[in-house]
């Protein structure tokens, strides 16, 4: 595999709880709506900006968007822990010469907050966020864009994610798909369309890479 592409929330970092918290704060303040995590995650697809613009009833969407990022930043350390296994995986891939990419529905602004907080900025050769696409996952647009930036053909790449949208985007892009449930919070319990492979632990995935290269 020349290129290894990751989703972010629920795949590279356990950021879904802080996303939920920030969205819940926004919808409670502006719309007086108490939303569950499931209700919030059902809105996922567009970036945070897109989710608020599409789903918030209150007219002052710009202020709501700013509040989301404020709460995301303020509470990131409270909700999101550094994961040594994930960092070891990224370091291993870099040492093996793989190109590493991200395709996420997150906006660049929140992704940068998380990458900086977790010390992960240096690992990635190309990043496509929700700001960079017209059509979010499950559309394959983001996967195709990151493949172009990584100078990799679909058959040379794998896409790793925790949601149906990730797997469907990868399949439509023609890459090898990997479904993961290796962090405490993830989006899809049972994949609607089966990925090429799936893993519940980072160590099992690392072992599979070793077998692939042997």
Q: Which residues are catalytic?
A: 7
Other Cβ atoms closer than 10 A to 108: 16
Q: What share of the chain is helix, strand, coil (3-state, %, to 5)?
A: 50, 15, 35
Other Cβ atoms closer than 10 A to 200: 11
Other Cβ atoms closer than 10 A to 138: 18
What span, in angstroms and rounded, lies between the C-alpha atoms of 154 and 7?
16
CA angle 15, 18, 21 (to 5 degrees): 150
Q: DSSP labels for 128-188?
A: E-GGG-SS-TTSTHHHHHHHHHHT--GGGEEEEESSHHHHHHHHHHT-EEEEE--SS--S-
Which residue bears the tokens 């990584």?
150
Number of Cα atoms under 13 Å in the Cβ half of residue 57 = 7
């Amino acid at each position: 595999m020349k290129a290894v592409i990751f989703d972010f929330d629920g795949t590279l970092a356990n950021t879904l709880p802080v996303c939920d918290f920030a969205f819940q704060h926004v919808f409670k303040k502006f719309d007086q709506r108490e939303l569950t995590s499931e209700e919030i995650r059902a809105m996922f697809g567009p970036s945070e900006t897109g989710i608020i613009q599409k789903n918030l009833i209150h007219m002052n969407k710009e202020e709501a968007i700013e509040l989301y990022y404020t709460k995301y930043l303020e509470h990131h350390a409270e909700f999101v822990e550094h994961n040594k296994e994930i960092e070891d995986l990224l370091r291993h891939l870099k040492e093996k010469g793989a190109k590493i990419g991200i395709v996420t529905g997150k906006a660049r602004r929140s992704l940068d907050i998380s990458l900086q907080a977790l010390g992960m900025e240096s690992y990635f050769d190309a990043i496509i966020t929700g700001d960079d696409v017209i059509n979010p996952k499950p559309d394959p647009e983001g996967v195709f864009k990151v493949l172009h930036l990584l100078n990799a053909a679909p058959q040379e790449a794998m896409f790793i994610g925790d949601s149906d949208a990730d797997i469907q985007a990868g399949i439509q892009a023609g890459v090898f798909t990997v479904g993961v449930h290796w962090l405490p919070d993830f989006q899809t319990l049972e994949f609607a369309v089966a990925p090429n492979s799936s893993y519940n632990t980072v160590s099992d995935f690392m072992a599979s890479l070793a077998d692939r290269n042997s």
